């Protein structure tokens, strides 16, 4: 291990911060980001300036490895069900070094199949204490796709093991209840204020809190508590890029009825957390960052699930705000050009707390968008790097991915993605937000393709990645190979 990063002794002035993330929740399924079909009033109320981010590796495990460490997937967790390397420092270590108490609840999914006992189901995989990311409190599970049969284990703030137990109801609701109970015992306002977690007859050392709530919904199966399942398939309006193929459209409508219900249940639980913060007087001192690990195609371009560079797969909500007061959000339309990437989230979160990231984190600090006293990077990044490093065939089956790819999305509205040695996708998102016109092999746009490939090549080189780019004519010559 290397140094955890810069420390700051004056933790009493730092805000508490909470991450709330679902799984497979696309940006196009939030009310304040332009979807009028799904009701997300509590998420919407967190901020008056909703934003989106990029899932630079739109697959659960690689995203989560980068989220925890601030490292690119090819330097951390390259594929699905792969293990995060032993000994890597995480965002929890960075917060601890700055005087924070840290806690994690819910889906983990970076322990890897290699650490699973023969015949053991992922939902019953025991994540060993040294592989829980350095969090002071950890209560979760490796992976599970059965929302009404979720088992959790972990350790408490004293390091005592918590034996595995079954959540008594729907995962999102039950994890939120446990999370709220923890907040009521441990979160504190800034300054030397006592609270229910303080030692009897004295004051608790003023430690701010970094806490994570990670839930499986709205990842499939698309099942939600009955009170949220009021839609029928006939109520669903599909995105314009869902093709006119009956089997695709029928499946998409059916899936979306459950998908939206799961999101509305998650939104209700965000409301419960916000209410708890207001009720305990801690809303003004607590930042909430709401996001997801990637999106879900749900029939767009005829595809399901994730793992592809299309907007429905890579674009995620990134809502920064608080529960201090209800806000009327500015409605954000599609075509947003947010370039906050998965490796940027831990760096930016530290920045939101007034902290500099440790040198081993690779991401960009975008906290200056929300804090006047934090500078934005100069120059601003002109693009976000996209990767599917390991499609995952070595770990079993994959219905939504076949081959590795690399790509970029740019600040001026272009997207470019390539397979090994082969151009694949190129879209002008400003004129074609639904990605219906692929320009990757259109000779009229060869000059744009050359510019985008040059920028992609720089990303590959600067991040230490290795990938065989396609041949792109440059003044009659051939393209370059990045290794």
For residue 35, give the CATH number of its domain: 3.40.720.10
Q: How many domains does the chain have?
A: 2
Same domain as 431, residue 337: no
For residue 96, is it within any domain?
A: yes
pLDDT digits (tens, 9 = 90+) for 109-125: 999 888 888 888 888 99
> Does residue 192 register a pLDDT over 50?
no
Beta strand 101-107 with 52-54 is unpaired
Contact yes or no for 259/265 (Cβ under 8 A): no
- Collapsing DSSP to helix, strand or coil, 291 comes out as strand
- Contacts with 418 (C-beta within 8 Å, 6 or more apart), sequence order: 405, 406, 407, 424, 453, 456, 469, 470
Same domain as 359, residue 408: no
Same domain as 171, residue 57: yes
Distance CA 154, CA 123 (A): 13
HSE toward the beta carbon, residue 84, CA cutoff 13 A: 29
Beta strand 286-292 with 16-22 is parallel
Q: How many CB atoms lie within 10 A of CB 160?
A: 8
How much of the chain, in percent, has pLDDT values that exceed 90? Answer: 73
- Collapsing DSSP to helix, strand or coil, 355 comes out as coil
For residue 226, is it within any domain?
A: yes
Give buried/exposed letters for 283-306 (b at 16+ CB in 10 A, else e).
Answer: bebbbbbbbbbbbbbbbbbebbbb
Q: Which of 29, 37, 34 is nearest to 329 (CA)?
A: 34
H helix or E strand, kind and range, residue 419: strand 414-419
- The residue-averaged pLDDT of 41-65 equals 92
Q: What angle do CA 104, 178, 30 make, to 5 degrees?
A: 75
- Collapsing DSSP to helix, strand or coil, 74 comes out as helix
Q: Please report the pLDDT score of residue 401 as a whole number.
A: 66
Same domain as 346, residue 268: yes
Phi, psi of 28 (to 5 degrees): -75, 10
H helix or E strand, kind and range, residue 422: strand 422-428
Same domain as 209, residue 272: yes
- The residue-averaged pLDDT of 39-61 equals 92
- Among 296-300, 301-305, 375-379, the range scoring the smallest mean pLDDT is 375-379
Task: Choose the final residue of a domain: 369, 388, 415.
Answer: 369
Q: Please report the pLDDT score of residue 286 as a whole number.
A: 94
For residue 350, is it within any domain?
A: yes
Contact yes or no for 288/323 (Cβ under 8 A): yes
> Does residue 142 register a pLDDT over 50?
yes
Higher pLDDT pick, 226 / 193:
226
- Among 312-326, 358-372, 469-483, the range scoring the smallest mean pLDDT is 469-483
Give buried/exposed letters for 200-209 (b at 16+ CB in 10 A, else e).
Answer: eeeebebbbb
Distance CA 483, CA 478 (A): 16
Q: For residue 201, name the pLDDT band (cuts at 50, 70, 90).
A: very low
Structural domain for 456, as ranges:
403-462
CATH no. for residue 419?
3.30.1120.10
Same domain as 431, residue 329: no
Distance CA 63, CA 82 (A): 11
Q: For residue 398, name the pLDDT band (cuts at 50, 70, 90).
A: low
Same domain as 194, residue 101: yes
Which of 44-53, 218-227, 325-334 is predicted most confidently?
A: 218-227
Distance CA 69, CA 71 (A): 5
Q: What is the DSSP secondary structure assignment for residue 356, as one 8-state letter?
A: P
Q: Please report the pLDDT score of residue 190 as a whole number.
A: 57
For residue 376, is it within any domain?
A: no
Distance CA 37, CA 253 (A): 12
Distance CA 408, CA 384 (A): 5
CA 173 to chain CA mean position, Å? 20
For residue 114, is it within any domain?
A: yes
Q: Please report the pLDDT score of residue 395 as a whole number.
A: 45
> Does residue 333 register a pLDDT over 60?
no
Distance CA 215, CA 233 (A): 25
Same domain as 357, residue 434: no
- The residue-averaged pLDDT of 106-110 equals 96
- Collapsing DSSP to helix, strand or coil, 151 comes out as strand
- Among 23-37, 44-58, 201-215, 456-470, the range scoring the smallest mean pLDDT is 201-215
Same domain as 338, residue 425: no
Which of 17-21, 275-279, 335-339 is predicted most confidently?
A: 17-21
Quote the pTM value. Answer: 0.91
Q: For residue 195, name the pLDDT band (cuts at 50, 70, 90).
A: very low
- Collapsing DSSP to helix, strand or coil, 164 comes out as strand
Task: Choose the final residue of a domain: 309, 344, 369.
Answer: 369
Task: Choose the final residue of a domain: 369, 388, 421.
Answer: 369
Q: Which of 90, 97, 101 is nearest to 17 (CA)?
A: 101
- Among 188-192, 291-295, 382-386, 436-440, the range scoring the smallest mean pLDDT is 188-192
Q: Please report the pLDDT score of residue 457 as a whole number.
A: 96
For residue 20, is it within any domain?
A: yes
For residue 75, is it within any domain?
A: yes
Q: Which of 56, 14, 5 is nearest to 291 (CA)?
A: 56
- The residue-averaged pLDDT of 215-219 equals 96
Same domain as 252, residue 305: yes
Q: For residue 449, name the pLDDT band (cuts at 50, 70, 90).
A: very high
Q: Please report the pLDDT score of residue 61 as a whole number.
A: 94
Contact yes or no for 314/54 (Cβ under 8 A): yes
- The residue-averaged pLDDT of 386-414 equals 79
Same domain as 182, residue 323: yes
> Does residue 338 register a pLDDT over 90?
no
Distance CA 397, CA 117 (A): 19
For residue 390, is it within any domain?
A: no
Find the length of the chain: 483
Contact yes or no for 271/290 (Cβ under 8 A): no
Distance CA 124, CA 189 (A): 37
Same domain as 157, residue 108: yes
Q: Which of 305, 241, 258, 318 is nearest to 38 (CA)?
A: 258
């Amino acid at each position: 291990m290397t140094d955890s990063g810069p420390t700051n002794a004056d933790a009493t002035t730092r805000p508490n911060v909470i991450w709330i993330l679902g799984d497979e929740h696309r940006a196009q399924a939030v009310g304040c980001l332009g979807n009028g079909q799904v009701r997300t009033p509590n998420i919407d109320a967190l901020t008056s300036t909703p934003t989106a981010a990029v899932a630079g590796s739109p697959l659960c495990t690689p995203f989560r490895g980068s989220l925890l460490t601030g490292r690119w997937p090819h330097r951390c967790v390259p594929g699905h069900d792969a293990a995060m390397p032993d000994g890597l420092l995480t965002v929890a270590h960075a917060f601890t070094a700055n005087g924070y108490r840290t806690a994690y609840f819910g889906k983990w999914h970076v322990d890897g199949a290699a650490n699973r006992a023969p015949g053991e189901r992922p939902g019953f995989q025991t994540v060993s204490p040294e592989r829980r990311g350095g969090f002071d409190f950890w209560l979760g599970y490796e992976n599970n796709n059965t929302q009404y049969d979720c088992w959790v284990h972990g350790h408490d703030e004293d390091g005592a093991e918590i034996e595995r137990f079954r959540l008594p109801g729907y995962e999102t609701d039950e994890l939120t209840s446990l999370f709220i109970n923890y907040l009521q015992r441990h979160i504190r306002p800034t300054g030397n204020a006592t609270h229910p977690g303080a030692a009897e007859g004295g004051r608790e050392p003023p430690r701010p809190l970094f806490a994570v709530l990670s839930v499986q919904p709205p990842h499939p199966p698309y099942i939600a508590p009955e009170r949220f399942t009021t839609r029928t398939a006939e109520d669903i309006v599909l995105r314009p890029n869902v093709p006119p193929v009956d089997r695709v459209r029928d499946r998409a409508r059916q899936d979306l009825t459950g998908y939206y219900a799961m999101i509305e249940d998650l939104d209700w639980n965000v409301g419960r957390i916000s209410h708890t913060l207001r009720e305990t007087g801690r809303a003004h001192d607590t930042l909430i960052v709401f996001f997801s690990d990637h999106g879900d195609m749900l029939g767009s371009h005829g595809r399901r699930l994730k793992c592809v560079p299309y907007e429905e797969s890579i674009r995620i909500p990134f809502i920064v705000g608080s529960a201090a007061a209800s806000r009327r959000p500015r409605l954000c339309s599609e075509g947003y050009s947010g370039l906050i990437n998965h490796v940027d989230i831990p760096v930016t979160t530290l920045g939101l707390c007034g902290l500099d990231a440790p040198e081993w984190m690779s991401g960009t600090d975008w906290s200056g968008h929300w804090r006047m006293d934090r500078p934005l990077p100069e120059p601003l990044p002109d693009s976000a790097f996209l990767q599917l490093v390991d499609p995952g065939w070595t770990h079993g089956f994959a219905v939504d991915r076949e081959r590795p790819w690399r790509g970029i999305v740019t600040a001026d509205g272009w997207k470019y993605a390539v397979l090994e040695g082969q151009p694949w996708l190129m879209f002008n998102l400003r004129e074609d937000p639904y990605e219906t016109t692929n320009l990757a092999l259109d000779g009229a746009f060869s000059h744009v393709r050359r510019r985008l490939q040059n920028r992609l090549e720089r990303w590959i080189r600067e991040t230490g990645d290795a990938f065989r780019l396609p041949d792109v004519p440059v003044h009659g010559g051939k393209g370059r190979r990045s290794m």
